[in-house]
A and B are shown apart, each in its own frame.
Chain A
Amino acid sequence: MSTGELGANSWHWAGRAMARSYSIVAVLLLWEILARALDNVLFLPGIGAVVNALGELARSGELSTDLASSSWRALCGFFIASAVGIPLGLAMGSFARMDDFWGNLISLSFPIPKIGLIPLFILWLGIGDTSKIAVIIAGAIYPVIMNTYSGVKGTPRYLVWSAQTLGASTLELLYKVILPHALPFIFAGLRLAMGIAWILLFAAEMVAATSGLGFRILYAQRLLDTPVVFASLAMIAVLGFAFDRLLYYLSRYACDWYFHRNV
């Protein structure tokens, strides 16, 4: 199946995009019908009220501040988690000693709820951005390490042997064969990490922050401003969606051999 060939057939592509939007339209429609039936803005605001709230946030400048500070924290955490997680996963997959050292530590620390670390990080790192970014790193690094590790371990023996008989040293083997082979798996890990980054960000912002979408949700709830809660949640979904799609298309571009292989 090579239905994913972008640009091969633009009509086909447009058809797929349409087919993929039906479910979203259906949910929005159901929401609007329910909101009109209940007729209670505090309990379930309709689409119009939420759009108005969003416009209000945009005019006051709160929206851009919230978006900027939330994106900064999420992306910072995501990039640091990737920059540490990818090399660590590569090293663990390639060298038994690294696996021996880190393997159990990672299995032990993975199930610790990272939201539960927020009070500790605030205690140690203060109430600013550092503690929020630290929480994101602590959560997002695991899927990066684990997926990179799996990608390395899955490298076919014959590819390694080919490189070795062509004269590759251990280091050359690592970055010319093992890393490119693991890349599709690394991207899968990065997409998971991106999602986790946003989830943890809002948890951190709801505990201690003066800006950000998470802070806005909690603040609006205290003021019984339900449309703003919905508007902020919608922004989270749209941002998360945009970054996930970005990573997805980046992976399609960087790993065309993986997505197009048919043997």
Chain B
Amino acid sequence: MGVIPEQAAPQIVLQCRGISMRFGKGSDSTVALEQIDLDVARGEFLVLLGPSGCGKSTLLYLMAGLLLPTTGTVTMGGELIRGPSPRRGVVFQDFALFPWLTVEDNIRFGLDLAVQRRHGPNDGGRVVLELVKTMGLSEFQRHKPHQLSGGMRQRVAIARTLAPDPEVMLMDEPFGSLDAQTRAALQRELAALAQRTGKTTVFVTHSIEEAALLASRVVILSRRPGRIQRVLPVTMPRLRWNWKTEFPAEYLQLVSDLEAALAEATVGSTT
């Protein structure tokens, strides 16, 4: 796998062309996605929003290379995606931490593999330490996942994905199973993190508020079979609400726009 030099990097990181996805065979098969054309630009925070069962997670897994499309192609920098790669990090809804490893060793996992492969200088220790600090995990470095709360586990999972410095971070409803307070705290941290690092992120959610808080662009998918119903660019600054004052009018407008678009997407495919 070739590494594309920074200067020559195209604006588009991921490209989906004519994607459809069918699960199963014959009469039992279901079409999860149909006719998806979508580009992910470098540095953007793309949110895939849609009713449950619309195939938005499937689309994310196709981008990751964990699933392969029935028709169409997914390319990264012009290269066809044939399987998972550390260039595309994934954060799963149920954390998927390795339960036998400590917090630190979980975070190190991908980093150590990368260091082994490239035979590069091993400053992994410093990277891990920094991530542990920024994710607020300093007290829990030696803990194992079963000793942590859900919010802490998801912080570890995000740090583990960020450690090997992937070009794209793919997040599958990462805060879906957390309580409201923890979820709000993590949304705030993620918004700040994405702004600071400029990491290209694709984020799947069914929460309108979450989409409105985080996205620099929202793609709304219709009910199954999932198609792109609407694309809404967001012009607001990334850190759009300081979690102390009232919601800005722009945010509230975006929420109602998304509500209307989502209602349309839900009705549109049933008639």
Binding site for B on A (CB under 8 A): 156, 158-159, 161-168, 172, 176-177, 180-181, 183, 255-258, 260-263
Whether B114 sits at the interface, judged by CB under 8 Å, is yes
> Does B99 lie within 8 Å of A261, measured CB to CB?
yes
Binding site for A on B (CB under 8 A): 64, 66, 83-86, 88-90, 92, 94, 96-100, 109-110, 113-114, 117, 144-146, 160-161, 164
> Does B66 lie within 8 Å of A262, measured CB to CB?
no
> Does A159 lie within 8 Å of B113, measured CB to CB?
no
Give how many A-B residue pairs fall within 8 Å (CB-CB).
Answer: 69
A255-B90 Cα distance, complex, nearest whole Å: 27
> Does B66 lie within 8 Å of A159, measured CB to CB?
no
> Does A262 lie within 8 Å of B64, measured CB to CB?
no
> Does A167 lie within 8 Å of B96, measured CB to CB?
no
> Does B86 lie within 8 Å of A167, measured CB to CB?
yes
> Does B66 lie within 8 Å of A166, measured CB to CB?
no
> Does A167 lie within 8 Å of B113, measured CB to CB?
yes
- Would you give the shortest CB distance from B114 to chain A, in whole angstroms? 6
Given contacts A167-B110, A257-B99, A261-B146, 11 further A-B contacts (CB under 8 A): A158-B94, A159-B98, A161-B96, A162-B160, A163-B98, A164-B84, A166-B160, A168-B113, A172-B113, A180-B98, A256-B144
Return the chain B residue nearest A259 by Cβ.
Answer: B146
> Does B96 lie within 8 Å of A162, measured CB to CB?
yes
A258 partner residues in chain B, CB cutoff 8 A: 99-100
> Does B109 lie within 8 Å of A257, measured CB to CB?
no
A interface secondary structure, majority: helix
Interface centre among B88, B90, B96 (most CB of A within 10 A): B96
A257 partner residues in chain B, CB cutoff 8 A: 99-100, 144-146
A260-B85 Cα distance, complex, nearest whole Å: 33
> Does A161 lie within 8 Å of B84, measured CB to CB?
yes
> Does B164 lie within 8 Å of A167, measured CB to CB?
yes
8 Å CB contact of B92 from A162, A255, A261? A162
> Does B146 lie within 8 Å of A165, measured CB to CB?
no
Provided the pairs A257-B146, A262-B146, A263-B146 are in contact, do residues A165 and B86 lie with their beta carbons within 8 angstroms?
A: yes
> Does B110 lie within 8 Å of A166, measured CB to CB?
yes
Pick 14 A–B contacts, CB within 8 A, sort by A. A161-B64, A162-B98, A163-B98, A164-B66, A165-B85, A166-B160, A166-B161, A167-B85, A168-B113, A172-B113, A176-B109, A183-B100, A257-B100, A257-B144
A168-B110 Cα distance, complex, nearest whole Å: 8
B98 partner residues in chain A, CB cutoff 8 A: 159, 162-163, 177, 180
- Would you give the shortest CB distance from A71 to chain B, in whole angstroms? 31
A123-B85 Cα distance, complex, nearest whole Å: 56
A159-B83 Cα distance, complex, nearest whole Å: 16
> Does B66 lie within 8 Å of A161, measured CB to CB?
yes
B88 partner residues in chain A, CB cutoff 8 A: 165
B110 partner residues in chain A, CB cutoff 8 A: 166-167
Return the chain A residue nearest B88 by Cβ.
Answer: A165
A-B pairs, top 8 by smallest CB distance, nearest first, are: A166-B110, A167-B86, A158-B96, A164-B84, A257-B99, A162-B96, A167-B113, A165-B90
A262-B83 Cα distance, complex, nearest whole Å: 34
- Would you give the shortest CB distance from A5 to chain B, in whole angstroms? 12
Return the chain B residue nearest A169 by Cβ.
Answer: B113
> Does B144 lie within 8 Å of A165, measured CB to CB?
no
- Would you give the shortest CB distance from B209 to chain A, in whole angstroms? 26
B83 partner residues in chain A, CB cutoff 8 A: 164
A162 partner residues in chain B, CB cutoff 8 A: 90, 92, 96-98, 160
> Does B100 lie within 8 Å of A165, measured CB to CB?
no
A256 partner residues in chain B, CB cutoff 8 A: 144
> Does B89 lie within 8 Å of A166, measured CB to CB?
yes
A159 partner residues in chain B, CB cutoff 8 A: 96, 98
B160 partner residues in chain A, CB cutoff 8 A: 162, 166
A66-B191 Cα distance, complex, nearest whole Å: 71
Return the chain B residue nearest A158 by Cβ.
Answer: B96
A166 partner residues in chain B, CB cutoff 8 A: 86, 89, 109-110, 113, 160-161, 164
Return the chain A residue nearest B94 by Cβ.
Answer: A158
- Would you give the shortest CB distance from B119 to chain A, in whole angstroms? 14
> Does A165 lie within 8 Å of B113, measured CB to CB?
no
8 Å CB contact of B96 from A156, A172, A183, A262? A156
- Would you give the shortest CB distance from A180 to chain B, in whole angstroms? 5
8 Å CB contact of B117 from A167, A180, A255, A262? A167
A255 partner residues in chain B, CB cutoff 8 A: 100
A45-B90 Cα distance, complex, nearest whole Å: 69
A225-B89 Cα distance, complex, nearest whole Å: 72
> Does B66 lie within 8 Å of A165, measured CB to CB?
yes
- Would you give the shortest CB distance from A155 to chain B, in whole angstroms? 11
Provided the pairs A159-B96, A257-B99 are in contact, do residues A165 and B89 lie with their beta carbons within 8 angstroms?
A: yes
B89 partner residues in chain A, CB cutoff 8 A: 165-166
